[in-house]
Amino acid sequence: MSLLLTASSIFLRSESTSRADFPHGFTFGTASSAFQFEGAVDEGNKGDSIWDTFSRLPGRILDFSNADEAVDQYHRFKDDIELMKNLGMDAYRFSISWSRIFPNGTGKPNPQGIKYYNNLIDSLLEKGHYLLQFRFR
């Protein structure tokens, strides 16, 4: 909480902020949610998640939107990683969609889902990012 307040006070008293305004060793990073970022709902043998099902039910989402395409990180992850690097991000926290790994909810892992996440992780490491944590959903 104190870090958040400290960071907030830096932004309130300064027109521009730089890394020098933060303590040595501070990690700058970004984060995402698989449902909100991946898209490609019908690719790579992905199964439906609970949110895929929920968002398609009439009346559940006010504007009838869903995450079938989202921001399409499934296809654009290399460009996304390049943007993170150009912004000076050090780390990336992302969630892994179980419905991409286990399309039927159980059984053998989906090789296409494993390949996607391996490619994502390899690309992050190649650009010098380190991973903060994984969140499985």
Task: Name the pLDDT band for 12 (thresholds 50, 70, 90).
Answer: low
Q: Strand, coil or helix: what is 53?
A: helix
Distance CA 67, CA 41 (A): 8
Distance CA 95, CA 98 (A): 9
In this predicted model, what pLDDT tens digit does every residue of 69-96 receive, in sequence order?
999 999 999 999 999 999 989 889 999 9
Q: Write down the domain spans for the chain.
A: 28-136
Say what the pLDDT of residue 8 is: 54
Judged against a pLDDT cut of 50, whether residue 44 lies above it is answered with yes
**Beta strand residue intervals within the chain, DSSP E:** 29-31, 91-96, 130-136
Say what the pLDDT of residue 13 is: 57
Task: Name the pLDDT band for 5 (thresholds 50, 70, 90).
Answer: very low
Rounded to 5 degrees, what angle do the CA atoms 54, 119, 77 make?
A: 60
